[in-house]
Structure 1
Amino acid sequence: MFGPTLRKTMIAALAVAAATAAKAETINVTYVAGHPPVFRWVRLANEVFIPAVNKQLEGSGHTINWDEQYGGSLAKVGDELEAVEEGLAEIGGISSVFDPAKLSLQNVTYYTPFVSSDPNLVVETIDALHETNEAMLSTWEENGLEYLGGPIAIDDYILMTTFPVNSIEDLKGKKIGAPGPAVNWLEGTGAVGVSGNLTTYYNEIKTGVYDGVIVFATAALPGKLHEVAPHITRIGFGAQYAGAIAANKDWYDGQPEAVQKALKDAADTYKAAYLDDLDKAVTASFKAMQEQGATISDVDAEFRQKWAAGMDNVAKKWAAQVDSEGKAGTEILKAYLDAIRAAGGEPVRNWDQE
């Protein structure tokens, strides 16, 4: 029907068209986070993770059209996991600290306070456990998620109150807000622990619902908590792993290999940028709050030891509960603390060895 020359021309044209179509392939992706962009883990998703994915995909024939849904526009704090699991978003910054039942193993750091104030050590240890222990990955997969990485590191938790804290006895009867499992840290102090989160702390302190909160400096400053709770006490509760970036597993499994690789590589880029940014921000946050009228005090080793010793062994209780659910609570507790000690960390209390 067609001559050889025309056939060759048509074949070449079709090849060019196919290549062009491949290059023009666009994948629509919604990224969700319950917190607003004023917080590091959300801001750097926009500034680092998404650009890193885009750069990685250059020349691959795949591009992503991003829809960023932050600050409760699609999911509230603690609801990100469900939003991604149900496919309302393809990727999200998952706050494991607010999903202690579904992501129980990821919350091991929140049940082991007074272990390390170094956020790099804490989150690198947990991130590494995802590579060496299948149980860590299984908790994500059970919820229909693919762990991408990019752990959310939280700097050393502090106590911010409307009143000065000179002794543990000063906390008796006071209402203290804390995130999820961190409410357990108040056991034995006489304080009344109330579960809360950063998006509501300011108003709850201002209106007298709380007398103070357990929080961290780099979130306290942008949240302006020092305006309503100007007494800052550095207890040494410890740095924490509070979540990570994850994708809907069915969606992820259906993506081209180049896209899968780009997402995980970008999560590593995000982690490095996050830890660098966090390190610089901690000192700056304390300096700024002090300059704006906050009073900062540090407790001594005796105070810290007394607080830790006065608590029930929340870690062992947590591990036993998780074990009873058919998950590796005791195994992960030991693996985490062994890794911390092996890296030079010196827990105030060796929760796993009692």
Structure 2
Amino acid sequence: MLTKKTLIQNVILLAAASMIGCSGPGPKQETISLTVVDGYPTQSLWVREFIDYYIPEVDKRLAATGNHQIKWNQAWGGQIVKTRNVLPGIQKGLGDIGVVTTVFHQDKVPIQAIAYVTPFVTTDPELVARTVDQIAEKFPEMREAWEKYDQVYLTNMVVLDSYQLFSKEPINGLSDLEGLKINGAGTNLRYLQGLGSAGVAGSLVTYFQNINTGVVDAAMLWPEAAISFKMHEVAPYMLQADMGTVNSKAITVNKRAWNKLPAEVQQVLSETAIDYRDHVAKLAVSKGIESLRLYQDNGGKISVMSTEERDQWAKNMLNIAKEWADGLEEKGLPGHEILKFYMDTMRANGQKISRHWDRE
């Protein structure tokens, strides 16, 4: 016969078991598949850091709540889209998220070109990256440009400390540029106007071969990329002209894919993108310094352009910033206001500006 104490204990146990049974298993974690794309290979700084920083950081933040996890399908180095086709590739849904090289698409997302049209202003990657995202917040026209191509803009990226000139033969000053064929990625080809040299369109993945085969004599790129792509083997001379840093990348998400994502995932992707932006900008500085040493260790020789010649280079150029702003105004966009905001920010942060592009 059960005692009163035993009876009470059994009732408590049955009640607890009942509650556990009613609650059932916890909510199932949702797995979301995302395809990430870029045409550049994994030795590119921003691709390497997307793999080593962005993806693990997103995974860690989602794991903190346990509601969602992402299955990443990574397609780098042209597996799905080539370097110039990331924007249309994401638009078509060939990738869900990716790194767009914006210099190739200045006709489609022209506001992204702000740092390209203001050379010889700053070599601070973090400052440029922050300022461009401030422009995206202050001027909605920047995000709206991406929406026309079915993409959601998360952030811009600055992956280089400053453009320099790498060549097959020594270049010590402006006069040595006359008669040379020089590779560039887009708007920076206009930096060469009036110098007697010919700009030849190319991209980071073609510069080595173009110099090696004599298609060009030199290329405009940055020290970290020069080391990553072994440019010292074909271009053992560098002219440190400090043409400036630029926001050459953007992280975007296919709009249809974005709208299907839970709010928590959208938030994590967005917030981590900003941290990734700052992380890469800091690396651009440290890698740039280290790469100058490695370039010399590998036999490269560096000539430093004088401040006077650098200033003269800037002053001899056409005012491409004003042309750019005028072009935006013709499209109904606040080009001159954006240019002034950018230059005001550079001045407020004490940059060594060779030419005040907005004051002419």
Bin of the TM-score, shorter chain as denominator length? over 0.9
User: 2:24 maps to what in 1?
Assistant: 16
CA deviation vs aligned residue, 1:66-89 (integer Å, no higher than 9, x gap): 001101111111211111111111
State whether residues 115 and 346 of structure 1, in contact with CA within 8 Å, keep that contact through their aligned partners in structure 2: yes
Of 322, 325, 334, the residue aligned with 2:328 is 322
Q: Give me the whole-angstrom Cα distance separating, in 1, the residues matched to 2:221 and 2:278.
A: 23
Would you say how many aligned residue pairs link Structure 1 and Structure 2?
344
1:15 is displaced (CA, Å) by 5.7
For residues 126 and 41 of structure 1, the distance between their equivalents in structure 2, rounded to whole angstroms, comes to 18
Q: What are the within-5 Å matches in structure 2 for residues 234-249 of structure 1?
A: 234-249=240-255
Counterparts of residues 129-168 of structure 1 (less than 5 Å): 129-149=135-155, 151-168=157-174
Distance 1:10 1:192, change over 3 A: farther
Give SS of 2:114's match.
helix
- 2:343 aligned partner: 337
Q: Unaligned 5+ residue runs, structure 2? A: 1-16
Q: Is the 8 A contact 1:175 1:212 kept in 2?
A: yes
Partner of 1:196: 202
Greater Cα shift, 106-115 or 268-277: 268-277
Structure 1 residues 242 and 14, CA gap change in structure 2 (3 angstroms): farther
Cα gap change, 1:129 to 1:10, in 2 (>3 Å): farther
Q: Distance in 2 between matches of 1:35 and 1:230?
A: 23
Q: Which has the larger radius of gyration?
A: 2
C-alpha distance in 2 between matches for 1:335 and 1:32: 32
| Secondary structure at the counterpart of residue 105 of structure 1 | helix
Distance in 1, matches of 2:215 and 2:345, equals 39
Q: Secondary structure at the match of 1:89?
A: coil
Shift of 1:318: 1.5
Identity in percent: 35
Inter-partner Cα distance in structure 2 for 1:66 and 1:11: 38
Distance in 2, Cα, partners of 1:47 & 1:60: 21
**Match of 1:43?**
48
Paired AA for residue 187 in structure 2: P
Determine if the alignment matches structure 1 residue 34 to structure 2 residue 42.
no
CA contact (8 A) 1:150 1:270 kept: no
SS for the counterpart of 1:345 is coil
Cα separation, 2, equivalents of 1:219 and 1:332: 30
Distance (Å, rounded) in 2 between the aligned partners of 1:15 and 1:26: 23
Distance change >3 Å, CA 330–CA 150, structure 1 → 2: closer
Cα distance in 2 for residues equivalent to 1:187 and 1:46: 38
Map of 1:271 onto structure 2: 277
Q: How does 1:49-128 map to 2 (within 5 A)?
A: 49-58=54-63, 59-128=65-134
Residue 315 of structure 1, CA deviation: 0.9
Tell me if structure 2 keeps the 8 A contact 1:52–1:269: no
RMSD: 1.9
TM normalised by structure 1 equals 0.92
Q: Which residue of 1 aligns with 2:297?
A: 291
The normalised TM-score by structure 2 is 0.91
1:175 pairs, out of 172, 181, 200, with 181
- Residue 224 (str. 1) matches residue 233 (str. 2): no
Q: Name the amino acid aligned to 1:73.
A: Q
For 2:255 and 2:215, locate their aligned partners in 1 and report how far apart those are by CA, in whole Å: 40
Deviations 1:257-287 (A, max 9, x none): 1000110121122123212322221111010
Query: What one-letter code is carried by the residue in structure 2 that aligns with 1:317?
Result: E
Whether the 8 Å contact between 2:120 and 2:244 is mirrored in structure 1 is yes
What SS does structure 2 have at the residue aligned with 1:57?
helix
The amino acid that maps onto 1:53 is V
Q: Is the 8 A contact 2:160 2:285 kept in 1?
A: no
Deviation of 1:12 after TM superposition, in Å, equals 7.1
Kindly state the Cα deviation for residue 103 of structure 1 after the two structures are TM-superposed.
1.4
Structure 2 SS opposite 1:56: helix
Question: Contact 2:129–2:278 (CA<8 Å) still a contact in 1?
Answer: no
AA aligned opposite 1:215: L
- Counterpart contact for 2:158–2:245, Cα < 8 Å: no
